[in-house]
């Protein structure tokens, strides 16, 4: 049993997903194409010309038709919240039209009805790696300032329609990942090796302004809404105590921390401006942009956490290790998942403490978990997965969340990634499973799409019910 004190009353226990990774129905209900429809292999290969049949996301796990059954399973685990994203191209199929697609809006009304029925708080990501494809092809995505206006129209539509029933909103999933995956994260069609630093950082600026604008609009249209930024947290440790390594680790860390700094403090930090100067980047920033950033900072900071990395200036010591979206220097003290992601529960306590010390904003862990190959077996006549490895991973991480809470950090909630199996973002596999619920579908697209409770399903239900006492 646990040494951790009970998690706070009102702690938002739940799970997290994204539209393109669960919904399927990629061409139903008036939905337009998104960038995901030309990424059949995720980040593993360049985009395709158009949609191809080998794209598992075309059907994904068919949440579009099975949401009621899935939400009932979440309720059975005792979820207090469910994180999902709205597919931008369901609401604005091309992205630049004047009027939204009513059928797309109605779908999310039904999802929200179902959540309400079970008393589950929605946690909505406005943009999660699914920019309408037309915006990528016609405008080069966020490189173009016009995207701010299209995003504004989209968020106005969302806040007017759902603002009275959704409290928690995230403006951009893992906003810092655009520096590494410009097409997936920023809808930037120019191939990464041809993209200039100026265009890339200008795209970042446009997203940051759009995020601030969303906060401003929420204050008008949905006054009870809480707006969060969402960053990919991957803490960087110095590989050795050599002061040069310590400084190098800080520099790498700041390339990620800058995004939280700007969302929370409303201005560009000095180290970031120096980086731009030295890269020869001159941003176009209007006075209005500056005012927007300064006046409309976020209510809370949310983040994903899977791995930590190291940094060193010594090329002979540099061994590359896998990270989430982008790699780092491998930590010799840690074990890794089957996909090479190094497992570091203490890193989560470290992130929570450093973010809290830095920003003093409530923190929400909106992704964490272990991608692993599962085997469906029969136990007492029931099909299930005996996923003790997943239970161990999540248990160890939650113990560290408990430690951070004891340290005085304000933690709003915990929504582990892929609470139901879904299609991976980086590799587009279904066999990289994160869920408490197994979905019968394989990498070749075969399977019944039936859902089965894994062993971790009962484990998580007990953790929630006991507020962490069973950890
Ligand atoms: C995050 C993304 O990068 O990590 C998710 O926000 C993604 O969309 C998750 O699925 C896990 O990564 P992967 O590559 O294992 O799916």
Task: Look at residue 2 in the predicted model and tell me its pLDDT.
Answer: 61
Atom number of ligand 1 nearest to Cα 371: 15
Element (H, E) at 464: helix 455-465
Name residues whose C-beta falls within 8 Å of residue 1's C-beta, 6 or more positions apart in sequence: 469, 470, 471
**Ligand 1 contact, 324 CB (< 6 A):** yes
Q: Report the nearest-CA residue for atom 8 of ligand 1.
A: 425
**Ligand 1 contact, 19 CB (< 6 A):** no
Atom number of ligand 1 nearest to Cα 43: 14
**Ligand 1 contact, 307 CB (< 6 A):** no
Atom number of ligand 1 nearest to Cα 173: 6
Mean pLDDT confidence for 332-352: 97
CA 342, distance to chain mean position in Å, is 18
**CA proximity to 283, closest of 189, 204, 186, 174:** 204
- Which of 130, 207, 367, 403 is catalytic? The answer is 367
Distance 172 CA to ligand 1 centre (A): 14
Element (H, E) at 236: strand 236-238
The secondary structure of residue 171, as a DSSP letter, is S
Residue found by looking up tokens 């700007």 in the block: 262
d(CA 452, CA 419) in angstroms, rounded, equals: 12
Mutate which of 425, 432, 433, 434 to test ligand 1's pocket (most atoms within 8 Å of Cβ)? 425
Residue found by looking up tokens 């960087």 in the block: 236
Q: What is the DSSP string of 61-112?
A: T-HHHHHHHHHHHHHHTT-SEEEEE--HHHHSSSS--SS--HHHHHHHHHHH
d(CA 434, CA 390) in angstroms, rounded, equals: 8
Q: Do 431 and 421 meet the contact criterion of CB atoms below 8 Å apart? A: no
Using pLDDT thresholds of 50, 70 and 90, give the confidence band for residue 380: very high
The secondary structure of residue 164, as a DSSP letter, is T
Catalytic status, residue 367: yes
Flag whether pLDDT at 276 surpasses 60: yes
For 72-99, write each residue's pLDDT tens digit.
999 999 999 999 999 999 999 999 999 9
The residue extents of the domains of the chain are 12-465
Joined tokens for residue 407: 């340290």
Task: Look at residue 228 in the predicted model and tell me its pLDDT.
Answer: 98
For 190-201, write each residue's pLDDT tens digit.
999 999 999 999
For 134-181, write each residue's pLDDT tens digit.
999 999 999 999 999 999 999 999 999 999 999 999 999 999 999 999
Distance 419 CA to ligand 1 centre (A): 12
Distance 422 CA to ligand 1 centre (A): 10
**CA proximity to 225, closest of 168, 154, 143, 176:** 168
Task: Look at residue 5 in the predicted model and tell me its pLDDT.
Answer: 82
**CA proximity to 146, closest of 130, 132, 167, 166:** 132
Phi, psi of 53 (to 5 degrees): -65, -20
d(CA 287, CA 281) in angstroms, rounded, equals: 18
Atom number of ligand 1 nearest to Cα 423: 16
**Ligand 1 contact, 77 CB (< 6 A):** no
ipTM score of complex:
0.99
Task: Look at residue 4 in the predicted model and tell me its pLDDT.
Answer: 79
d(CA 284, CA 196) in angstroms, rounded, equals: 15
Q: Report the nearest-CA residue for atom 10 of ligand 1.
A: 425
Distance 286 CA to ligand 1 centre (A): 34
Distance 425 CA to ligand 1 centre (A): 5
Task: Look at residue 419 in the predicted model and tell me its pLDDT.
Answer: 98
**Ligand 1 contact, 238 CB (< 6 A):** no
Joined tokens for residue 143: 């490189």
Joined tokens for residue 377: 């077996």
Q: What is the mean pLDDT of the chain?
A: 97
d(CA 255, CA 344) in angstroms, rounded, equals: 21
Count of CA atoms in the C-beta half-sphere (13 A) of 358: 21
Residue 373 burial (CB count, 10 A) = 12
Mean pLDDT confidence for 111-117: 98
Mean pLDDT confidence for 207-227: 97
**Ligand 1 contact, 424 CB (< 6 A):** yes
Distance 181 CA to ligand 1 centre (A): 12
Q: Do 326 and 185 meet the contact criterion of CB atoms below 8 Å apart? A: no
Using pLDDT thresholds of 50, 70 and 90, give the confidence band for residue 101: very high
Atom number of ligand 1 nearest to Cα 42: 14
Mean pLDDT confidence for 121-133: 98
**Ligand 1 contact, 304 CB (< 6 A):** yes
Distance 426 CA to ligand 1 centre (A): 6
β-pair type (363-367, 121-125): unpaired
Flag whether pLDDT at 3 surpasses 90: no
For 231-273, write each residue's pLDDT tens digit.
999 999 999 999 999 999 999 999 999 999 999 999 999 999 9
d(CA 284, CA 302) in angstroms, rounded, equals: 28
Count of CA atoms in the C-beta half-sphere (13 A) of 48: 16
For 15-30, write each residue's pLDDT tens digit.
999 999 999 999 999 9
**Ligand 1 contact, 108 CB (< 6 A):** no
For 401-453, write each residue's pLDDT tens digit.
999 999 999 999 999 999 999 999 999 999 999 999 999 999 999 999 999 99
**CA proximity to 387, closest of 370, 366, 367:** 370
| Bridge partner residues of 16 (DSSP) | 83, 417
**Ligand 1 contact, 362 CB (< 6 A):** no
**Percent of the chain having pLDDT more than 70?**
99
| Bridge partner residues of 329 (DSSP) | 310, 320
Q: Report the nearest-CA residue for atom 7 of ligand 1.
A: 425
Q: Do 40 and 427 meet the contact criterion of CB atoms below 8 Å apart? A: no
Q: Mean pLDDT check: name the lowest of 127-131, 216-220, 323-327.
A: 323-327
**Ligand 1 contact, 417 CB (< 6 A):** yes
Distance 434 CA to ligand 1 centre (A): 10
Distance 331 CA to ligand 1 centre (A): 21
d(CA 448, CA 429) in angstroms, rounded, equals: 17
**Ligand 1 contact, 371 CB (< 6 A):** yes
Mutate which of 324, 339, 366 to test ligand 1's pocket (most atoms within 8 Å of Cβ)? 324
**Ligand 1 contact, 432 CB (< 6 A):** yes
Question: Given phi > 0 = left and psi -120 to 50 = alpha, else beta, which region is 363?
Answer: beta
d(CA 145, CA 282) in angstroms, rounded, equals: 15
CA 452, distance to chain mean position in Å, is 25
pTM summary value: 0.98
CATH 3.60.20.30 fits 12-465, yes or no: no
């Amino acid at each position: 049993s646990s040494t951790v004190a009970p998690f706070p009353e009102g702690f938002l226990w739940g799970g997290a997903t994204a539209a393109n990774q669960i919904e399927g129905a990629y061409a139903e209900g008036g939905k337009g194409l998104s960038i995901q429809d030309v990424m059949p292999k995720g980040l593993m290969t360049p985009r395709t010309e158009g949609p191809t049949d080998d794209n598992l996301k075309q059907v994904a796990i068919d949440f579009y038709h099975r949401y009621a059954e899935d939400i009932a399973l979440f309720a059975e685990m005792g979820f207090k919240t469910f994180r999902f994203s709205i597919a931008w191209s369901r609401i604005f199929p091309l992205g630049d039209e004047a009027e939204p697609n009513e059928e797309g809006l109605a779908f999310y009304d039904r999802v929200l009805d179902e959540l309400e029925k079970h008393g589950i708080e929605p946690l909505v990501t406005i943009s999660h790696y699914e920019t309408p494809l037309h915006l990528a092809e016609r405008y080069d995505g966020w490189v173009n300032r016009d995207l701010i206006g299209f995003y504004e129209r989209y968020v106005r539509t969302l806040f007017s329609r759902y603002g009275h029933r959704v409290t928690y909103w995230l403006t951009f999933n893992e906003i810092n990942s655009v520096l590494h995956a410009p097409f997936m994260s920023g809808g930037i069609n120019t191939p990464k090796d041809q993209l200039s630093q100026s265009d890339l950082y200008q795209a970042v600026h446009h997203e940051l302004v759009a995020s601030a604008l969303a906060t401003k609009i929420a204050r008008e249209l949905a006054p009870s809404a809480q707006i969060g930024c969402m960053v990919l947290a991957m803490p960087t440790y110095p590989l050795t105590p050599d002061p040069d390594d310590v400084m190098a680790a800080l520099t790498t860390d700041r390339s990620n921390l800058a995004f939280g700094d700007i969302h929370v403090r409303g201005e560009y930090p000095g180290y970031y401006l120096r980086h731009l100067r030295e890269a020869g980047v001159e941003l176009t920033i209007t006075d209005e942009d500056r005012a927007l950033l300064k006046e409309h900072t976020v209510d809370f900071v949310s983040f994903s956490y899977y791995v930590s990395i190291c940094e060193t200036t010594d090329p002979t010591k540099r061994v590359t290790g896998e990270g989430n979206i982008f790699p780092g220097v491998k930590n010799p003290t840690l074990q890794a998942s089957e996909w090479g992601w190094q497992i570091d529960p203490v890193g989560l306590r470290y992130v929570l403490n450093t973010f809290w010390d830095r920003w003093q904003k409530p923190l929400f862990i909106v992704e964490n978990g272990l991608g692993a190959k599962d085997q469906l077996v029969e136990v007492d006549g029931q099909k299930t997965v005996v996923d003790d490895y997943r239970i161990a991973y999540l248990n160890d991480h939650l113990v560290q969340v408990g430690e951070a809470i004891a340290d005085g950090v304000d933690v709003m909630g915990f929504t582990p990634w892929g609470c139901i199996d879904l299609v991976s973002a980086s590799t587009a596999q279904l066999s990289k499973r994160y869920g408490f619920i197994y979905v019968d579908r394989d990498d070749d697209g075969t399977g019944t799409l039936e859902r089965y409770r894994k062993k971790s399903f009962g484990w998580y239900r007990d953790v929630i019910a006991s507020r962490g006492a069973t950890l």
